[in-house]
Every structure is written in structure tokens, then in C-alpha cells.
């Protein structure tokens, strides 16, 4: 979809280009990237959307801000649904619904969650597990289904149907993915506002938030909306800073939400783990409309210090900065944290 849209508006995509450095030239109102072959590309605005290991931190923060291991990893794979259907029990359990919709099952338990789903073409599953140093951040770090079965054998009450799916998984496609994270970083823009980080490059997520990809897309919509509101090239720095102001607290809450959902997996209600919750403030948010409603007042806030408060966070929440270690420690001590508030 993205590629089609880029074609439509005449944007050329160059593949196989590795960005090694970002730069900006405030006097000329230009920003750019240096590629690994030494060549440079320039533009009026550079969006650094190069994921968790992005190279824009030296320009944005003045130093590298590396992500670190979260202590967890995730087994994940997708394979042709015909293969999955070769086991009649799997075929029956993961039948497409009568109205043609796909089937998704999410199981949670102490310290873990597992998703199994199928659509028209593919069977897909993922299981979080503690990382004992064997996982890697690589799509080519393949493990065998037997290794996963060794792990699921240690999980009390683990469903037999899940093991059946694991057994028929192709042995060369199963990835053990190391989950990385970074404390929330409030500034996503370069000093002159001509480079802006977006998606995982700006904010890391645990899969238990179910929101990393969603927030990357919300970022994109918000940024485009801010640029449209700014209306001219010379206001690009204003647009990126307003985007940052409108997005940071919401995204930071959703990062913390991954931590709270992870903790909920360990909490039982009537003998069952509490399901992850998804509040209205998350699913009913319209980032385009939010920019339309808040852009001008946010500009007044940045320019003249006029009062401004984000409303795209949990209702009633007064945002307080947090770090992952601080959050986990405070939770253990039963203290108030950013997670207190109406998250439903």
C-alpha cells in the first residue's frame, strides 16, 4: 500500500541504501543523510525511521542512546496455512470464521504471552520467553521447533494444541528474537528541527503493548498532519516540534502500558491470568483530528508558554517522567507510578 501510494505521488524508493549518519544545515534549511558509500542525500525534512538501532541519536541527543536487552525474547514464525492444515486437529481449531474473518488466539500466563492465528494464507505464532542470552536481533537467528517444545514443556497448563502447531512448523523459519528497549526519550527532533525520529527509532515497545507498529503509524499520520497545518517549508521545524509535543506523552504511556500488561500476565482473576486491557483512549484515538484540534494552541505553548495539556493519554493522568528500572522498582514497592490513573 505504501509503495503504491509513493508511486502515485511520484516518490522514488531506493533500496539497499544504508544510512550511517544524519546531518542538518540550519542556515540553508536543509537536512540530510550520509550513506555507507559516502554519498549524501539532502531534503527539506529528514524522517529518521530506521528502527530500534537507528543512527540518528548522535544528531538528536548529541550522543548514541543504545537500546538494551529487556531480558525477554520471543519465538515467532509464519508459514503457509496448508502446512498447518495437515494436522486435522490444528485445521479444526484454527478454521476461518464463517464470515471469512481470520482466527486469533491470545494466551497469557505468568511472565509470558503467546499468540496463535491464521488468515487466508498463513499460520502465525509467537511466544515470549525469558532470554538466557541465546536470542538475537536478527531474522536469520533460527531455532528448531524442538527447542521451543523444550520450553513449553516447562510451562504449567500449556495447551496440547499449541504444541501440535509448533511440531508442524518448518524447522528453518522459526526466529528467536531478542526484545530490546530504551527508556522514553522526550526529544525526537534535531536541534534545528529538520530531522525527526519516527516509530521504533524514537520509542521502543514491548510486544505486550501490542502497539509498536500502531504508534509508528500514528506518528506518521501526526507528522504529516502537522506539516499540513504548518503549510510552508519554512515552518517545518515548528511542525516537527509540535508533532513531538503532541505525541511524546501518549507514546510514553503506551510504552509503560507494555510493562503493565506484562505484569498483568502474572495476576490471576478466578484462576485465570488477567487479559491484557485496551482502553478507549488507545483504540479510539484519531491522530489526524488530534493535530487539527491542538496544533494552534500547541504552537502558542511552544512560543509563548501558553497553557497546554495533552488529552490523548489515559483520562485524568498527569504525566510524570519515568524510566524502566524506576517503574519496575516502584511497582514492586507498591508506590504510585505513571501507570496510576484511569487506564480502562
Ligand X SMILES: Cc1cc2nc3c(=O)[nH]c(=O)nc-3n(C[C@H](O)[C@H](O)[C@H](O)COP(=O)(O)OP(=O)(O)OC[C@H]3O[C@@H](n4cnc5c(N)ncnc54)[C@H](O)[C@@H]3O)c2cc1C
Give me the residues that bind ligand X (CB under 6 A), please.
Answer: 18-19, 49-51, 55, 74, 76, 126, 177, 199-201, 205, 207, 210-214, 216
Determine which one of 30, 68, 76, 336 is catalytic: 76
Q: The C-alpha cell of 142 is what?
A: 533460527
Provide Rg for the chain, Cα atoms.
22
DSSP string, 92-128: HHTPPPTTS--EEEEEEETTEEEEEEE-SSEEEEEEE
Size of the chain, expressed as the number of residues it contains: 344
The residue among 126 and 310 lying less far from ligand X, judged by its C-beta, is 126
| Cα 125 to Cα 33: distance, rounded to the nearest angstrom | 37
The residue among 193 and 199 lying less far from ligand X, judged by its C-beta, is 199
Q: How far is the CB of 89 from ligand X (least distance, A)?
A: 26
Q: How far is the CB of 34 from ligand X (least distance, A)?
A: 10
Q: How far is the CB of 270 from ligand X (least distance, A)?
A: 26
Query: What ranges make up the beta strands (E) of the chain?
Result: 19-25, 30-35, 40-43, 46-48, 68-80, 103-109, 112-118, 122-130, 175-181, 195-197, 268-269, 272-273
CA 158, 160, 165, 168 torsion-angle sign? positive
Q: Among this protein's residues, is 235 annotated catalytic?
A: no
Query: Residues near 223 by Cβ (< 8 Å), separated by ≥ 6?
Result: 47, 196, 198, 239, 240, 243
Residue nearest to ligand X (CB): 199
The residue among 126 and 187 lying less far from ligand X, judged by its C-beta, is 126
The residue among 145 and 207 lying less far from ligand X, judged by its C-beta, is 207
Q: How far is the CB of 299 from ligand X (least distance, A)?
A: 26
Q: The C-alpha cell of 174 is what?
A: 522459526
The residue among 201 and 239 lying less far from ligand X, judged by its C-beta, is 201
Q: The C-alpha cell of 180 is what?
A: 530490546
Q: How far is the CB of 271 from ligand X (least distance, A)?
A: 26
| Cα 63 to Cα 243: distance, rounded to the nearest angstrom | 22
Residues annotated catalytic, as ranges: 76
Amino acid at each position: 500500500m505504501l509503495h503504491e501510494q509513493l508511486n502515485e505521488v511520484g516518490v522514488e524508493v531506493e533500496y539497499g541504501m544504508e544510512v550511517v549518519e544524519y546531518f542538518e544545515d540550519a542556515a540553508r534549511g536543509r537536512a540530510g543523510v550520509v550513506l555507507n558509500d559516502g554519498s549524501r542525500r539532502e531534503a527539506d525534512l529528514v524522517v529518521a525511521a530506521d528502527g530500534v538501532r537507528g543512527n540518528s541519536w548522535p544528531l538528536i541527543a548529541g550522543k548514541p542512546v543504545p537500546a538494551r536487552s529487556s531480558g525477554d525474547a520471543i519465538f515467532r514464525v509464519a508459514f503457509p496455512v496448508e502446512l498447518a492444515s495437515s494436522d486435522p486437529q490444528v485445521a479444526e481449531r484454527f478454521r476461518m470464521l464463517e464470515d471469512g474473518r481470520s482466527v486469533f488466539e491470545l494466551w497469557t500466563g505468568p511472565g509470558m504471552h503467546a499468540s496463535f492465528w491464521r488468515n487466508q494464507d498463513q499460520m502465525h505464532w509467537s511466544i515470549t520467553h525469558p532470554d538466557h542470552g541465546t536470542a538475537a536481533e536478527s531474522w536469520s537467528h533460527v531455532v528448531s521447533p524442538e527447542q521451543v517444545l523444550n520450553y513449553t514443556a516447562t510451562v504449567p497448563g500449556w495447551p496440547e494444541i499449541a504444541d501440535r502447531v509448533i511440531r508442524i512448523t518448518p524447522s528453518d523459519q522459526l526466529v528467536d528474537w531478542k526484545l530490546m528497549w530504551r527508556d522514553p526519550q522526550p526529544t525526537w527532533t534535531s536541534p534545528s528541527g529538520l530531522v525527526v525520529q519516527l516509530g521504533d527509532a524514537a520509542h521502543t515497545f514491548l510486544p505486550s503493548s501490542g502497539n509498536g507498529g500502531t504508534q509508528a503509524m500514528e506518528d506518521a499520520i501526526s507528522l504529516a498532519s502537522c506539516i499540513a497545518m504548518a503549510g510552508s517549508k519554512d515552518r517545518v521545524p515548528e511542525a516537527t516540534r509540535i508533532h513531538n509535543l503532541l505525541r511524546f506523552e501518549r507514546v510514553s504511556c503506551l510504552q509503560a502500558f507494555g510493562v503493565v500488561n506484562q505484569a498483568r500476565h502474572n495476576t490471576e482473576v478466578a484462576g485465570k491470568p488477567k487479559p491484557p486491557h485496551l482502553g478507549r483512549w488507545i483504540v479510539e484515538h484519531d491522530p489526524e483530528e488530534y493535530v487539527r484540534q491542538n496544533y494552534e494552541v500547541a504552537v502558542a505553548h511552544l512560543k509563548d508558554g501558553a497553557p497546554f495539556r495533552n488529552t490523548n493519554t489515559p483520562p485524568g493522568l498527569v504525566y510524570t517522567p519515568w524510566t524502566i528500572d524506576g517503574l519496575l522498582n516502584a511497582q514492586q514497592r507498591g508506590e504510585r507510578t505513571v501507570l496510576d490513573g484511569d487506564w480502562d
